[in-house]
Structure 1
Amino acid sequence: MTINTDKSRKSFGLIVNGNAGKVKSGAYKAKDFQAIFRDRGLIRETHSLEDIPLVLKEFQEAGIDILFIYGGDGTHQKVISQVVASDLRFPYVAPLKGGTMNMLVKDVKLGGSAKNTASRILDLYDPINKKISSFEKPVLKVTTDSQQPLYGFYFANGIIYNILKKYYERPSSVMHAIRVTVGGLFGSFLPRHSYSHHFEPSQCQVIADGKPLQWDEYLGIMLSTMNRVVFGMTPFGKDSLSKKQFNFVAYTFNKRELLCRFVFLARGRWMNPPSVDPYSLEFAELICRSGYVLDGEVYDVREGASTKIEVGAYLNIPMISR
């Protein structure tokens, strides 16, 4: 990782996950972004978590207006966690498509090719007033016991946690993701299949805006400030939230019901209590027997740990379409 020795002010900074699939495959080309940024931006490639705060500090010292992040959902989550936790200030944050899972870029309508998206943002940017049309995106703050908070946009446990934990046993790829998901759905009905336990209910106590929910077993729980999540699903059945709210849905039926109603659930169309409970919340606390997923990254916690979720920050995301 090279640190900038040119102390002149820059407008744009691109942080690239050097371990991302598109980087390793050669789909990412630094020269494309160098041609777009010219002498107005910095490009830095990271290869470890320790590199991220160093790059962000360099970008802040250079006066970066727009922070571009190239990678998948996991990369965006790790960089944004560092930005928020370190109280760094970048006027705009623009996630770019560069990973296997790209929920965030699709949700904020920056899901085109990274090169074209960055070029369009720079075309719309007003360098004199240092402005671009943008919207505020709330970020979830996830705190487990006394650990350092994590920040992201999509939290899930239960079957999502089980499937992704299985997924990460092998190198990431789109085909492997499809294989694990389809195998999980159908293999879970075979008693000796490796996925048979992945769709069993998980024990969890849930407190939603100060009120305990009546169930103690869930097939899965999802919380998000996004409407569109994995595989393009829109399970929350809502289009808008108030400033401090996030989406919440808890599935309490069995795996057979899930398979039969999957298409409807994926579009938020089968929302009859008590099997599915959709909420708009400001605070949730989960005390569960297993870990969780945050923006595609798996986090294990000790059994019985308390995990608190609330909106913890807001990012200004550039708008390239209306």
Structure 2
Amino acid sequence: MLQAGVAEPETSRLVHGLVVQRDVGAAAGAQHADEAGGLQRSKTPVPPHRVGIISNSRAHRNHVNGEEPVTDSPQVKGVLYRSPRSLPELSRTLEEFAEAGIELLIVCGGDGTLRDVITCASTAFADGMPRLALIPTGKTNALALDLDIPLNWKIADALAAAEAGHIRCRSPIEIFRPGSELPDLRGFLFGAGAFVRATGLAQRTHQAGAFSSLAVGLSVGWALAQTAFGGSSNVWRSGDRMKITAPGVDVDRDFYLLCGSTMRRLPLRLKPFGKPRDGLKVLAVDAPPRRLPIAAPALLAGSEASWLERLGYHRGQADEFTLSMEGGFILDGELYAGGDVTIRRGKELEFLVP
């Protein structure tokens, strides 16, 4: 259900005493990168811009703690606030934002909310995405962790970051179905095979009250135990048939796990792709996984020892590859049907950070 609209009063409180002025400006600064990966300042002053807020009322902290941003008045000068309840509503909302000239898009939700927003936005903002701010209110908030955004970050903090001009850039993963000109999906963490089953375990930990890094740790540990102690016919060990094609790569066999991400850092500082770096990193593990109790700790710690490759733990990096699979795949926590897909690194998005 859509919420409040655009505005007549000059100010209105949004949340926790925040007062939003008519316009929000951003200060100038010299562009630079930090060691954490891409902290920048705008090269030139950002002109006063219009702000759009997308809030997922069903996101974990919004729903449980009542932290969803609200407005005192149904009309707020310079701010569009919406809480769409379906993907068609979200698409219409983003088209409205694009027509209104939104230059800062604030997303209140988790990884799944952001996935849906940037997927739908590829059509609405075909000429270029606005700057983004993520208010992490979901169950895992992996991208917020990667961007060094604290879980208690609020809209007021995002607006302060806009004034300071602090940004980090991340490229999303884009997934295309055959015949598609625009990406069917955009997100930051992709997985198939055991990754699908492990995500199912993570959902069960959420139901038990575990969230964020705790949920990730429990699901990873549970998945490794299911695999290591299963018999030869165990579904975890037998893997899934996949055909992977990329420059210099053409393989068609059973894989225990396939996953990829454009994030630099994962929850619990896990490093399945090796040392932190930009780009689309990929990990493919042959089925059945060999010497898993020994290999898994080294792999997750980021070891690049050659014996991991010899045992069937393959790391790589590619701007684009094609994948054919019978089973489904996960993108930022959601299960999608398999088939033939093209997976590629998308254009960088700018995120406000502290």
Contact 2:174 2:184 in 1 (8 A): yes
- Secondary structure of the residue that 2:119 maps to in structure 1? helix
Q: Which runs of 5+ in 1 are unaligned?
A: none
- Find out whether 1:206 has 2:241 as its counterpart: no
Contact 1:141 1:150 in 2 (8 A): yes
Task: Tell me which residue corresponds to 2:52.
Answer: 13
- Secondary structure of the residue that 1:111 maps to in structure 2? coil
- Secondary structure of the residue that 1:79 maps to in structure 2? helix
- Aligned residue among 325, 328, 346 for 1:291: 328
Task: Tell me which residue corresponds to 1:261.
Answer: 295
What is the letter of the counterpart of residue 121 of structure 1? Answer: A
279 and 184 in structure 1: CA distance in 2 versus 1, 3 angstrom threshold: closer
- Secondary structure of the residue that 1:240 maps to in structure 2? coil
227 and 173 in structure 1: CA distance in 2 versus 1, 3 angstrom threshold: farther
- Aligned residue among 42, 47, 51 for 2:89: 51
Tell me the distance in 2 between the aligned counterparts of 1:174 and 1:199: 28
Task: Tell me which residue corresponds to 1:2.
Answer: 3
Deviation of the 1:179 alpha carbon: 5.5
- Aligned residue among 145, 154, 160 for 2:178: 145
Deviation of the 1:196 alpha carbon: 4.3
Task: Tell me which residue corresponds to 1:96.
Answer: 135
Cα deviations by residue, 1:74-132 (Å, 9 ceiling, x for unpaired): 111011101123335443111221111211111122233131xx323322334xxxx82
Deviation of the 1:47 alpha carbon: 2.0
Task: Tell me which residue corresponds to 1:251.
Answer: 285
What is the letter of the counterpart of residue 200 of structure 1? Answer: S
- Find out whether 1:313 has 2:314 as its counterpart: no
Tell me the distance in 2 between the aligned counterparts of 1:208 and 1:73: 27
174 and 77 in structure 1: CA distance in 2 versus 1, 3 angstrom threshold: farther
- Find out whether 1:183 has 2:184 as its counterpart: no
202 and 67 in structure 1: CA distance in 2 versus 1, 3 angstrom threshold: same
Kindly report the root-mean-square deviation, in angstroms, between the aligned alpha carbons of the 2 structures.
3.2
What is the letter of the counterpart of residue 284 of structure 2? Answer: A
Tell me the distance in 2 between the aligned counterparts of 1:133 and 1:171: 33
Q: Which runs of 5+ in 2 are unaligned?
A: 9-21, 24-48
Q: TM-score, normalised by structure 2?
A: 0.74
92 and 47 in structure 1: CA distance in 2 versus 1, 3 angstrom threshold: same
Instruction: List aligned pairs for 1:23-102, cutoff 5 A.
Output: 23-31=62-70, 39-88=77-126, 89-102=128-141
Tell me the distance in 2 between the aligned counterparts of 1:296 and 1:134: 25
What is the letter of the counterpart of residue 262 of structure 1? Answer: A
Tell me the distance in 2 between the aligned counterparts of 1:188 and 1:74: 27
Tell me the distance in 2 between the aligned counterparts of 1:12 and 1:200: 50
Percent of paired sites with the same residue: 21
166 and 146 in structure 1: CA distance in 2 versus 1, 3 angstrom threshold: farther
Contact 1:65 1:92 in 2 (8 A): yes
Task: Tell me which residue corresponds to 2:42.
Answer: none
- Secondary structure of the residue that 1:100 maps to in structure 2? coil
Alignment length (residue pairs): 303
Contact 1:3 1:58 in 2 (8 A): no
Task: Tell me which residue corresponds to 2:198.
Answer: 163
What is the letter of the counterpart of residue 57 of structure 2? Answer: G
- Secondary structure of the residue that 2:302 maps to in structure 1? coil
- Aligned residue among 252, 262, 266 for 1:225: 262
Cα deviations by residue, 1:281-317 (Å, 9 ceiling, x for unpaired): 111111122111111111122xxx2221112332111
- Find out whether 1:135 has 2:174 as its counterpart: no
Contact 1:209 1:282 in 2 (8 A): no
What is the letter of the counterpart of residue 30 of structure 1? Answer: P
Tell me the distance in 2 between the aligned counterparts of 1:239 and 1:155: 17
Contact 2:134 2:144 in 1 (8 A): yes
- Secondary structure of the residue that 1:313 maps to in structure 2? coil
Tell me the distance in 1 between the aligned counterparts of 2:298 and 2:72: 45
Tell me the distance in 2 between the aligned counterparts of 1:3 and 1:54: 15
